[in-house]
Amino acid sequence: MTGELSPIDKAKFAAAKRAVDFVEDGMRVGLGTGSTAAWMVRCLGEMVREDGLKIKGVPTSVRTAELARQVGIEVISLDEAKWLDLTIDGADEFDADLNLIKGGGGALLQEKIVATASDQMIVIADTAKEVATLGAFPLPVEVIPFGWQTTRALIDEALINLDVMGREVTLRMNGEAPFVTDEGNHILDLHLKRIGNPRQLSLVVNQIPGVVENGLFIDICDVVVVGHGDGKVEVRDINAGTVEEEKIDFLEGDNLFNDL
């Protein structure tokens, strides 16, 4: 079955398969959103069904919650969990300091809340997500619908004084209508091309009235697991300063692929 997967999907699967090794029995685990995180949820579901792993999952979106329930993971809210042992999620970009851009799937608010309520955040990604400088991927900013055009104008003005290469701001659409997040908000995508000072940008943008949260994750990620199309994975621990390489075997009969 894995022979039918593209190299990118194999890389995502390899990263997800390695990342779930961090999960132990009895843990409360934040479950990320996106294509790579979906592989991770399926891997955890297989461990629950086949190995008897007992965990409680806190999803970061409605669609992740639905998938988690489908694969047999017990789902609870963050209020019920109060604090998490671990969160595993994907990223749209990450740099050498493991700072991230997230929110391409529109779940950045819940993702950031869940990640910061965890003892550890592990990011799973393919090699294409690694960048020297953040910003090639448009930065998502979640805003309330009321007065969103005013909020966009204030963001436009703020960007003039920030270290960025581009300043185009667009409203994310879903067909003919604005995209709506799980919290009922809109998303403005900031096409910055290069972010010279992510920390400053995050602080400035979040001070603008109407902004709920932005997709910069600064000093939140502890470990990134980078997957390659041949099954190789790199585990980079920012706190320990270590990089480990392993090889993940693709099992043709893996139940994980039955629902794809």
Rounded CA gap, 244 and 133, in Å?
Answer: 23
So what's the pLDDT on residue 249? 83
Rounded CA gap, 218 and 139, in Å?
Answer: 13
pLDDT < 50 regions, the chain: 1, 253, 259-260
Q: Are 2 and 13 in contact (CB under 8 A)?
A: yes
Task: State phi, psi for 97 to the nearest 5 degrees.
Answer: -90, 5
So what's the pLDDT on residue 254? 58
So what's the pLDDT on residue 1? 46
Q: Cite the annotated binding site for substrate by residue number.
A: 33-36, 89-92, 102-105, 129
Q: Are 119 and 86 in contact (CB under 8 A)?
A: yes
State which CATH number among 3.40.50.1360, 3.40.50.300, 3.40.50.620, 3.30.428.10 fits the domain covering 2-129+219-257: 3.40.50.1360
Q: Please, where in the chain does CATH 3.40.50.1360 lie?
A: 2-129+219-257
Give the helix, strand, coil percentages of the chain, each rounded to 5: 35, 25, 40
Q: Please, where in the chain does CATH 3.30.70.260 lie?
A: 139-212
Q: Looking at residue 216, what DSSP letter applies?
A: E
Q: Which residues are catalytic?
A: 111
Tell me the sheet residues that pair with 245.
Answer: 234
pTM value > 0.85: yes
Q: Cite the annotated binding site by residue number.
A: 33-36, 89-92, 102-105, 129
So what's the pLDDT on residue 230? 94
Which helix (H) or strand (E) element contains residue 10?
A: helix 7-19
Report the CATH number of the 139-212 domain. 3.30.70.260
